[in-house]
Structure formats: structure tokens, C-alpha cells
Amino acid sequence: MEFFITLIQVLDSTVRLATPLLLACLAGLYSERAGIFDIGLEGKMLMAAFFSAAVAAVTGSVWLGLLAGIASSLVLSGIHGLASITFRGNQLISGVAINFLAAGMTVLVAQSWFQQGGRTPSLFGGGRFVPIEFPFAESLSGVPIFGPIYSELLSGHSILVYIAFLMVPATWWILFRTRFGLRLRAVGENPAAVDTAGVSVVGLRYAAVAICGVLCGIAGAYLATALQAGFVKDMTAGRGFIALAALIFAKWRPWHAMGACLLFGLLQAIALRFQNIDLGGVVIPVQVMDALPYILTVVILAGFVGKAIPPRAGGEPYVKER
Amino acid sequence: MDKMPKWADVVLIPLISLILAAILSALVILAIGENPVEAVNLMVTGALGSTYGWGYTLYYATNFMFTGLAVAVAFHARLFNIGGEGQAMLGGLGVAMVCLYVPWPHWSIALLAACAASMLFGAAWAAIPAYLQAKRGSHIVITTIMFNFIAAAFLNYMLVNVMRPQGSQDPATARFSETVHLPTFQSMFSTAENVVFRGAPANISFFVALLACVVVWALIWRTRLGYEIRAYGHSETGAVYAGISPVRITIIAMLISGALAGLMAINNVMGEAERLVLNSTEGAGFIGIAVALMGRSHPFGVFLAAILFGFLYQGGAELALWTSIPRELIVVIQALVILFTGALDNMVRMPLEKLFLGLRKGAE
């Protein structure tokens, strides 16, 4: 029974830790499916984390914080779009620049506004997203097996967690069942064909980059106002890159993205709870758990276990023929 | 027909990009309620106003020359090596092993061995992404990013579980012995009555970095291999037609790139810290990207850009010391430089090209 409680706790923590990964991963999915590589997910999340926490701290309203987070992330998306769509620059270099811009600006502005060494004041009350308790969660918690699953694992997360997981079927539906989704995927595979059909390549790509910005904004706001209570320097801690890894792991598909993010979230949850894991004599050091998402991604990229093929026009600026 | 004279491409565009980055940085300083003119003054006096300041500026510049050259060599083969950070970390591991476990009679021999070890370790860390790119088509940018994280975890493990001296809480190796300490600028240039570079970390590695610039220049523009690397970078199909093997060039260019990034460790690990600590690279691997972009992937440009970033780094540290502007200002400037010289290159280039075309039409 003790094992079962531990399991539930680890899985609960998995869901919490997978949420920002999932949001960022889906964000990257829209962008990369439209042919815009985005290694700036990390930066956008970080920027959104700061501005959501800052605005929530000042106004006391977490919803205003969320809006501010999304807006700040959208600004970075705009820069990325400008560089990689309008000026046909190198998308990877633009992403690198955005990551640094966010890493520097957040601390700079935080120091200027709050003088607390690059962090925001701790959030409390209306400044944070509160857990949502499902109906009867309290009274059902005594029921064996089902009780803990319902009241611990499924209930008691903030609304952003449920939004993130609802985004998975929504993304699948948008990409594979709507006209917009078809065009978005087409523009990532063969933009010339989309252009010939009379649909704006530039418009579609900007739309994809904007969706990416919104989702990264939610991911960042979740980090600073739900998972933790306030912004601290570099709080994304590589999550944007793990999300990128998850995206490749999932081979740019929404449902698989959820699986990959849950897997990587589980690794984080285990690393957080157990440190070094003793498997009957063989000790797995915590660093292996930290590195595992990246190692798995390299293995997948190497194509020894099912090849990951990115959208064909990914990373290529589209030049209209004259 | 070239749209622009060469000097405009080499000098004017980077200069305009730099000015744009500087203007935006000044606006950022204004926005956080500080005076940009005072900030620049403080940076100049702090970084260039004394031999002490120069000692730090050149120390940072040495790091950036190595990582800048690393990124530049890969750029010539049209490969984007973001893994300089991880490769430099591994280079540090190589240096630490050489310096800790071998009793060297003199620092000069130790330096040669450390160079070899750091290059070997750096190259080895670049080898797997290189192989995967060349043979399996795995995107080098993603794999090198992943390898940065794997390197950080690996180094963390080595320092915490293996190389940490007994009884120490600090995740770092023991200090290197006195004999392998590199001569600093202070010991090299001070006279009995006039001590210069007092306490500054600049050391003999600076000259190794200069040498590396020259060697890379000769390699890229004066050897058959360099020609093949550039040819491959310009056009893969053209290179294949000329009998150049993409697999070979990709792997060799990345090995050289990794070796150069790893070589940075003789400066920060052997020259400055004199032991291996966590996060010894301090992001220098990433600054190499900005340096290579600014320097237009030419060793001389890399040299100048590295000095500029060394100045920014030391100046930024002084700013953080004397004003309420945090060190992260430098990260913002670095981001703006990468943005303008790298990603938004066309924003500057397109109007300039129009201008030069117009001028030429006017002259005809």
C-alpha cells in the first residue's frame, strides 16, 4: 500500500512537471509543422514566466498575469517571425538570440522593478492559480485504488494543467481535421504548392508562430504562477529544450507529444524524489536521470529506433518565384 | 555581378548591425532608469582603463577566440555547432585529468599535454553529433544542444562522484600542483619597479589563442582541406560533383570545431581556476556564436569580435559592481548582436544592396 501511495505521488508530480513541457512541445509542434524551426521555446517560456509573475505580483490578479505572459511571449514570437519569415534569416540563429534575449531581459527588468536580485516577490492569494478540486474528491479519497487516483492524481491541479491536456486532442483536430491545419502542414512540407493554390505562405507561417507564442506564454505562466509562486532567474532550466526533445521524440505528432512529455515528466519526477536510485546493487546516479531525455532524443534522432523525419521545408525560408 | 562591393559586406554590414545593437542596448539601459553614457564610461574605464582591466578583458577574449573560431570553422562547412559549451566542458575534463594525474616537471610540457588533451576531449564530444549528421542525417543543431546538457550532467557526475577530493563538499577537483600553473601576464610583463596586470587572470593561453587564429586562417584559406570545407559550405552538390565527400568534410570540420572549443579549457581551467569547477565555461561556448557571426567567420574578425566581447564582459562586471545594472545586461547585448548580425542580417543587407545598386546606376 505504501508503494501505491508513493506511485500516486510520483505520477501526480509527473502530471505537474509534464504540463509546461506539453504546452511548449505543442507550441513547437505548430511552429515546426509550418516549417519554422523554433529553438527559442525556452526563451519564450522564460519571458512569459517573468511577465506573468511580475504582473500577477503587482495587480494581484493571476489572469492579468497570464495575459501579460502570453503578450510577452508573443512579442518574442513576432521577432522570430520577422527574422525568419519576413527577412528570411536563419531560424536557428534567431532562436538562439531569443533565448539569450529572454535570459538577460528577465533579470534586468526584474532587478529594475523589484530589486530582489532578479526575482519577483512571492505570489500569494489571487496572484496564483489555485488547484481545482473535482466534485466529491474529498469524500471519495477513502475508496481503495480508485479514490487516490481520482482525488490525488486527477483532481487538484490548476486549470492550466487541464487546458494543456485538452490542447492535445484540440491540436490533433486542428491539424488533421480542419482546412487551416491541412494548409499549415502543407506549408511545412511544400510551401510552393500552398502558394500556387493562392494561399499566403507568409500569413500561415505567422499564424503558426503566433499560436506557438500563445502556448509558450501559457507554459511560462504555469511555471511561475502555478507550479511555483513567483519568478526566479533561469527558472525554465532547460525545459524548452526538453520540450524540443519531446517534439522530436514524438515525431511531430500531438498524441505522441503527450506521451513523450509524460515520459520526460516522469523522469523529472523520479529524479526529484529519489536522487540516486539503488537497483539492487547497481546505483543509478541522479545525473543519469537528468540526462536521460537528451540521450533518448539523440538515440531517436540517430534513427536506430524509428527514424524521426522533420517537416520537409523546416528551417527553409520561402522565396516566392518571380 | 556582385550587388555590393566587398568592403561593404565585410565591414559596413557588421558595423551597422553593431550600431543597431548598441542603440537598442542604450534604450534598454535608459528604460531601467540608468544613464547609458555614464554606463559606457564606466565600462571603458573598468575594462580598458588599467592593465588590471585589460588583464580581465584579454582573459575573457581568449575564451571567446577559441569558441568563436570553433563556431566559425563549422560555419564554413555550413554546420551550426551550438555545442561549443559542452565541448569546452569536456575539454576542461581533459585538462583536469592531465594536470591532476601526471606529475609534470615544467608548465610548458604540461601546457602542450593539456592542449592535446583538451582538443582530444572536445573533438571526441563533437564526434558523435558529427557522425550522426554525416551518416544518419540527424540535425546537428539539435544533437549538439542535447550534447551540451549531457555534458553538463556528465561533468556534474564526474565532479560530485569521482574527482572530488575526499572530505570536500565543493563539487570541484583538487587544485592543480604549483608546477603546472601557467605564467600570467603579471609574471610575464611586470618589472621589479612596475607591476602590471596585478591579479588579473590573463595568461599565456592568450598567445595560444592568437596562434590558433593564424592556424585556422591558414587552414581555411591556404590548404586543400580548407578549400574543400569552404566548397562544401557553399554548395553541397557542387562539392560532391568535385569529388569531395560530404561525410568526410562534415566529420573533419566538426572535429576541428570541437577541438578548438575544447582548447578553451587551457585558459579557464588551467590558466585561471587552476582546478575544474562546475560551470567553468560560464556560457563562453554560446558567446562563440555571437563572436563568429560578428567576425564574419574570419579569424581576424573573430579576433576583433572576441576582444569586443571581452571588453563587454569585463565592462559588464564593473557595471554590476558600481551601479544597479546587473551583469545580465551583457547577455542582452549578446542577444542583440546575434539577432542583428545573424538572424536579421537581411534587414540591414536588403536596403544597402538597393542603395549600392542605385549608386551604380547613377554612376553609369
Which tops the pLDDT comparison, A128 or A71?
Answer: A71
Beta-bridge partner residues of B356: none
Q: Does B90 touch chain A (CB under 8 A)?
A: no
Predicted TM-score (pTM) of this structure? 0.89
pLDDT for residue A304: 67
A91 has pLDDT over 70 = yes
- DSSP labels, B10-27: IIIHHHHHHHHHHHHHHH
Q: How far apart are CA B351 and CA B354, in angstroms?
A: 5
Structure-model confidence comparison of residues A242 and B212, the more confident one = B212
Could you tell me if A78 lies within 8 Å of chain B, comparing CB atoms? no
Tell me how far apart the alpha carbons of residues B34 and B54 are, in angstroms, rounded to a whole number.
25
Listed by start position, the domains of chain B span 64-300
Q: How far apart are CA B100 and CA A213, in angstroms?
A: 48
The pLDDT score that the predictor gives to residue A308 is 67
The residue type found at A321 is E
Instruction: Provide, for chain B, the percentages of residues in helix, strand and coil under a 3-state DSSP scheme, each rounded to the nearest 5.
Output: 75, 0, 25
Asked if A101 lies within 8 A of B336 by C-beta distance, the reply is yes
Q: What is the pLDDT of residue B99?
A: 92
pLDDT band at A276 (very low <50, low <70, confident <90, very high): low
**CA dist., res. A151 & res. A12, Å (int):** 10
Cβ-nearest to B331 among A94, A100, A295:
A100
Span A252-268, average pLDDT: 91
pLDDT tens string, chain B, 364 residues long: the values are 466 788 887 888 888 888 998 999 999 989 888 888 988 999 999 899 888 999 999 999 999 999 999 999 999 999 999 999 999 999 999 999 999 988 888 999 999 999 999 999 999 999 999 999 998 888 888 899 889 999 999 999 999 888 888 888 888 888 898 888 888 888 888 887 888 888 889 999 999 999 999 999 999 999 999 999 999 999 889 999 999 999 999 999 999 999 999 999 999 999 988 899 988 888 899 899 989 988 889 999 999 999 999 999 999 899 888 888 888 888 998 899 889 988 888 888 888 888 888 888 887 6
Q: Give A322: exposed, middle or buried? Use CB within 10 Å, 0-12, 13-18, 19+.
A: exposed
For chain A, percent of residues with pLDDT exceeding 70: 95
Query: pLDDT-based confidence at A306, cuts 50/70/90?
Result: low
Q: Which pLDDT does position B1 carry in this prediction?
A: 47
Rounded alpha-carbon distances, angstroms, from residue A141 to A13, A149, A151, A157 = 18, 8, 6, 15
Q: Which of B12, B3, B25, B6 is nearest to B339 (CA)?
A: B25
For residue A123, the model assigns a pLDDT of 83
Tell me what pLDDT residue A144 has.
77
Measured in residues, chain A has a length of 322
Q: Is residue A135 part of a domain?
A: no
Nearest to A159 by CA among A179, A133, A182: A133
Predicted pLDDT of residue B118: 96
Under 8 Å CB-to-CB from A288, ≥6 apart: which residues? B153, B157
Sign of the CA dihedral with A32 first, then A38, A42, and A46 last: negative
Q: Where are the alpha helices (DSSP H) in B179-223?
A: 185-189, 205-222
Residue A218 lies in a domain: yes
pLDDT in tens, A156-195: 888 999 999 999 999 999 999 999 999 999 999 999 999 9
A179: number of Cβ within 10 Å? 8
User: pLDDT at residue A234 above 70?
Assistant: yes
Q: How far is CA A32 from CA A300, B170, B253, in A?
A: 18, 42, 28
User: Searching chain B, which residue's CA lies closest to the CA of residue A113?
Assistant: B32
The domain in which residue A205 lies consists of 2-130+142-236
Question: Taking CB atoms and an 8 Å limit, are A101 and B328 in contact across chains?
Answer: no
Q: Do A97 and B326 touch (CB under 8 A)?
A: no
Question: How far apart are alpha carbons A132 and A162 in whole angstroms?
Answer: 10
- Residues in chain B with CB shorter than 8 Å from the CB of A285 are 157, 161
User: HSE on the CB side for B285, CA within 13 Å?
Assistant: 34
Total of domains in chain A = 1
Q: Please name the residue that has the C-alpha cell 550522426.
A: B132
